[in-house]
Amino acid sequence: MRKVIEAAKLYYQLDYSQNQIADTLGVSRPTVSRLLQQAKAEGIVTIDIKDPTEDVEVLRSLLKVKFQLKHVVIAFTPTYEESVVKKYIGQAAANYVHELAKDGDMISASWGSTMYQVALHLKEKSLNNSFVVQLNGGVSDADVHISPSEIVHLFGKAFNVTPYFMYLPAIVDHILVKQAMLTDRHIRRVMDMGKNANIAVFTAGAPTPDSVLINSNYFHDDELEIIKTNAVGDICSRYYDSNGEICLPSIDERTVGIELADLRTKEHSVLVAGGPSKINAIFGALKGKYGNTLVTDQITAKALLKKLDT
């Protein structure tokens, strides 16, 4: 029994080869094999295999049932750093959209760093009688990695379809400016295409200090205070609270792009978001039922389920 234990420690803890163990213990190679087999048979050595895919399957089922979702895709991320999470869920979302899209589909997309990862990882698949359209206005001085036009361009290139852009600010200073813009038939056409698209792919932003939207100078000081106090996230530049309700109607009516309520009517409304700063934003979006499909990571998935139970 002493040799059984010693052989097991050398093999499983110190990574000795069976030949090295034979030399160390002064026994033959077949004897070492029998000692190791006995260690497992006697329960001295137990092997526990952690299969992350099994965990993911359970999480997927729970999220689907508890949030009443049509589909759930969970990417396994090795670390919980924002940039790493975005890359992995972006790739997972790209694969999902690639499989989902078919001839005749009208695909709409929002912008942001997560959406850029989706666009980057899209594989080519030519569609007939389809198009890609931008869901909401952008930020004029945004970095290229979150440029709405670049994202929509990459979507169009992947599916070999015509991309339609919305070269407008995400939020204007006055509702009269927005109303005037919408009288233009070309702008109205792009807006209607986004509203009528059967597939919407979008992300949820968090009202953090590094938010591009928060730093865009679109808001007055009192509005920023309300956002920081009441908003948990934004979708297509529209801010909502923990229940998914629009929390700043005065900003919402000046926002250019799809209404959040229109996302509820989509055949496929695909929310792509994950990471520690996005948990509350995703939770609020799911409470508001803005997405019927969720693409996230396994750590965020667990956090969402835990938040639902508290």
Q: What is the pLDDT of residue 73?
A: 97
d(CA 12, CA 129): 59
Bridging pattern class, strands 131-134 and 162-164: parallel
What is the average per-residue pLDDT within 206-213? 88
Q: Where does the pLDDT of residue 140 fall: very low under 50, low under 70, confident under 90, or very high at 90 and above? A: low
Is residue 143 scored above 70 in pLDDT? Answer: no
Q: Where does the pLDDT of residue 142 fall: very low under 50, low under 70, confident under 90, or very high at 90 and above? A: very low
Lookup result for tokens 């093999």: 11
DSSP 174-220: -HHHHHHHTTSHHHHHHHHHHHH-SEEEE--B---TT-TTGGGT-S-
Is residue 303 scored above 50 in pLDDT? Answer: yes
Is residue 195 scored above 90 in pLDDT? Answer: yes
Q: Percent of the chain scored above 70 by pLDDT?
A: 95
Q: What is the pLDDT of residue 50?
A: 61
Is residue 234 scored above 90 in pLDDT? Answer: yes
Alpha helices for the chain (secondary structure H): 2-8, 18-25, 29-41, 52-66, 82-100, 113-121, 148-159, 175-181, 185-196, 221-230, 249-252, 260-263, 279-287, 298-309
Q: Which residues contact 154 (CB under 8 A, 6 or more apart)?
A: 119, 120, 122
d(CA 310, CA 307): 5
Residue-wise pLDDT tens digits, 90-130: 999 999 999 999 999 999 999 999 999 999 999 999 999 99
Q: Which residues contact 81 (CB under 8 A, 6 or more apart)?
A: none
CA distances from 45 to 5, 21, 40 (A): 9, 16, 5
What is the amino acid identity at position 35? L
What is the amino acid identity at position 128? N
Using only C-alpha atoms, the chain has a radius of gyration, in whole angstroms, of 26
What is the average per-residue pLDDT within 215-230? 88
Q: What is the pLDDT of residue 144?
A: 43
Is residue 76 scored above 60 in pLDDT? Answer: yes
b (16+ CB within 10 A) / e for 163-190: bbebebbbbbeeeeebeebeeeeebeeb
Is residue 146 scored above 70 in pLDDT? Answer: no
Q: Which residues contact 185 (CB under 8 A, 6 or more apart)?
A: none
Q: What is the pLDDT of residue 47?
A: 81
Q: Where does the pLDDT of residue 285 fall: very low under 50, low under 70, confident under 90, or very high at 90 and above? A: very high
Residues 176, 181, 183: CA angle, nearest 5 degrees: 100
Is residue 3 scored above 60 in pLDDT? Answer: yes
Q: What is the pLDDT of residue 95?
A: 97
Q: What is the pLDDT of residue 56?
A: 86
What is the average per-residue pLDDT within 259-275? 97
Task: Please state, as a whole number, how many other Cβ atoms lie within 10 Å of the Cβ of residue 99.
Answer: 10
pTM for this one?
A: 0.82
Q: What is the pLDDT of residue 49?
A: 63
Q: What is the pLDDT of residue 148?
A: 83
Mean pLDDT of the chain: 92
Residue-wise pLDDT tens digits, 14-72: 999 999 999 999 999 999 999 999 999 988 998 866 656 558 889 999 999 999 999 99
β partners of residue 98: none
